[in-house]
Structure 1
Amino acid sequence: MKYKILCSDLDGTLLSTKSDVSDFTIAEVSRIRKETKIILVSARMPRSMTYLQRRLGIEHEPIICYNGALVLDGETEIASTLIDLHHVTQIHTMADALLIKLGLYYKDEWYVEEDTERVQKEILYTRATPIFRATSETISDWKDRKASAHKIMLMGTKETADILYPLLVENFSESLNLYRSNDTLIEVAPKSVSKLSAIKQLLNEGSTINDVISFGDNYNDIEMLKYSGYGVAVGNAREEVKAIAKSITLKNTEHGVAQFIKEHLL
């Protein structure tokens, strides 16, 4: 089995722990990286991905951040799609009424209102540090800079997320991708982009989506796996992801991506 491009999700897929790749994964990527383009595809911000590129020896390759909302090749911005700032303001108002906090992401900037256990976990897992300030201040700053969010992370409880999520779907489903990453977290991204659309932007002349093998575990990986030349789900993937995958490998904690590379990629 041979593919020109390998695209992999990070959290729950390529990462064997919450924040790092295994030596086995590094070795297998190293074995194929001269013949195969390795592209990391994630909901993470750039600086939470570039340290992994360095670990894997693929700093020269592009990265797909924020589920496709920001595509970078080194310092070069290939594509950038922002959430309308008016929508950011509306979502803030709705979340604030339920005491749900916002994490706001723009390029390599990350803003949160207060230091919480959830924020500390994010700092630990992604090796990034946020700027602490009121969301209203960030929105005002972005208005002056003509900026906005590549991604919004809504952090509440299961009960408040259960209330807010259907309200967001009712009001924003036509313009935003709304993704519940777990019981307490809701991720928001522009509707017009996805991991798949970003991958297509990076295809060179002579390459098609059929030349891509992709790996993932969660709902935001389904489209990428379904339409790639070959889509592989890790063993810990959601059942809906496994259902559309062409193959299922070991769990991420068992180095499933590396094991598949070892067994199937020349």
Structure 2
Amino acid sequence: MIKLFATDIDGTLLNDKRYLSDRTIASLEKLDMPKILISARMPQAMVYLQEALGIVKSPMICYNGALVLHEEEVLYELSIPFNEIKALSEIAQENGLHVSLYRKEEWFVPSMDKWSEREIHNTRVQPTVQDVSVTLDYLEKTQDKGGAHKIMFMGDRDAIDSAFAKAEQKIGPSVRLYRSKSTYIEITPSGTSKEVALRKLLDFRFSDIGMENVVAFGDNYNDEDMLGAVGYGVAVENARDVVKKAAKYSTVHHAEDGVALWLEQNA
């Protein structure tokens, strides 16, 4: 029996205009259960979607599971220590890549380039624009607030390939490196997992609900563990093959309201 709804956002819940369709909003309004957004996004990039769905007081899982929030309360978090942040920033700069640094509600970019503008368009959040050295100095001085929850490299595919190899060799198991696109590397703390974060959330806020009672939707590599662990893992048509194999159910393409269709037929 389904008792909690959880979903990835980009490539899963949103349509081809990167927003919630009327059909999706209507299908979720009919669900009488907790509704949780789980994403690689930062908190502010999820709040406007919570508002549209009428779930602003619901918990959210950010940064692929590195940060679990319930309104202002941090329920669970993992962070990248400063030394690793510095080393990774150097790798990005050596390869001529854009490097975005994220900590809770903070987002730092080195310039307002095409990569910054693309992320602003996608997430509706404005970053702090300053040189990487200034950001590193700030993070070092405020280590009591924790390290970064996510670092993102963006740039040319060849440079991304080189940076990924260097980061894997130099930093290794200290972080989780993830190629979300050929031109993107998303870096989160070691141990970051949507499945783990979801289990933590159930323990802290929904102890009467087991993973077998959760329906979860996803499309990309970072959704694989979550879809395989819940009772009702659903992959959209555009999902990676490994994600489809991990899921117990499937639905149509995210641009065709796959989440809404599955809920209409099964929930």
TM-score, structure 2 length as denominator?
0.95
Show the counterpart of 1:90: 87
**Structure 2 residue aligned with 1:37, among 3, 13, 34?**
34
Asked if 2 retains the 8 angstrom alpha-carbon contact of 1:65 and 1:71, the reply is yes
State the secondary structure of the residue aligned to 1:71.
strand
Show the counterpart of 2:257: 255
Show the counterpart of 1:149: 148
Separation of aligned partners in 2, 1:77 and 1:18: 31
Q: Aligned runs of 1:51-200 on 2, under 5 Å? A: 51-146=48-143, 147-200=146-199
Question: In the TM superposition, what is the alpha-carbon distance from 1:121 to its structure 2 partner?
Answer: 1.3
Separation of aligned partners in 1, 2:106 and 2:128: 8
State the secondary structure of the residue aligned to 1:13.
coil
Report the more deviating stretch, 190-199 or 48-57.
Answer: 190-199
Asked if 2 retains the 8 angstrom alpha-carbon contact of 1:19 and 1:124, the reply is no
Question: What whole-Å deviation, never above 9, does each CA across 1:1-35 have from its counterpart, x for those lacking one?
Answer: x4111110000000113531110000000001xx2
Asked if 2 retains the 8 angstrom alpha-carbon contact of 1:8 and 1:214, the reply is yes
Separation of aligned partners in 2, 1:171 and 1:246: 37
Q: Aligned runs of 1:206-221 on 2, under 5 Å? A: 206-221=208-223
Tell me, which stretches of 5 or more residues in structure 2 are unaligned? none
* AA at the equivalent of 1:212: V
Asked if 1 retains the 8 angstrom alpha-carbon contact of 2:225 and 2:246, the reply is no
Report the more deviating stretch, 204-213 or 234-243.
Answer: 204-213
Question: In the TM superposition, what is the alpha-carbon distance from 1:172 to its structure 2 partner?
Answer: 2.6
State the secondary structure of the residue aligned to 1:129.
coil
* AA at the equivalent of 1:264: N
Separation of aligned partners in 2, 1:95 and 1:187: 12
Separation of aligned partners in 2, 1:27 and 1:173: 44
**Structure 2 residue aligned with 1:222, among 221, 224, 233?**
224
* AA at the equivalent of 1:257: V
Report the more deviating stretch, 21-30 or 67-76.
Answer: 67-76
Question: In the TM superposition, what is the alpha-carbon distance from 1:96 to its structure 2 partner?
Answer: 1.1
Separation of aligned partners in 1, 2:234 and 2:16: 19
Report the more deviating stretch, 216-225 or 155-164.
Answer: 155-164
Aligned residues: 262
Asked if 1 retains the 8 angstrom alpha-carbon contact of 2:98 and 2:115, the reply is no
Asked if 1 retains the 8 angstrom alpha-carbon contact of 2:9 and 2:39, the reply is yes
Separation of aligned partners in 2, 1:144 and 1:215: 39
Tell me, which stretches of 5 or more residues in structure 1 are unaligned? none
Question: In the TM superposition, what is the alpha-carbon distance from 1:157 to its structure 2 partner?
Answer: 0.5
* AA at the equivalent of 2:226: M
Asked if 1 retains the 8 angstrom alpha-carbon contact of 2:38 and 2:62, the reply is yes
Asked if 2 retains the 8 angstrom alpha-carbon contact of 1:18 and 1:125, the reply is no
Separation of aligned partners in 2, 1:115 and 1:127: 14
**Structure 1 residue aligned with 2:240, among 238, 241, 248?**
238
Question: In the TM superposition, what is the alpha-carbon distance from 1:81 to its structure 2 partner?
Answer: 1.5
Question: In the TM superposition, what is the alpha-carbon distance from 1:165 to its structure 2 partner?
Answer: 1.0
Separation of aligned partners in 1, 2:80 and 2:67: 12
Q: Percent identity?
A: 39
Asked if 2 retains the 8 angstrom alpha-carbon contact of 1:69 and 1:190, the reply is yes
Separation of aligned partners in 2, 1:117 and 1:175: 29
TM-score, structure 1 length as denominator?
0.96
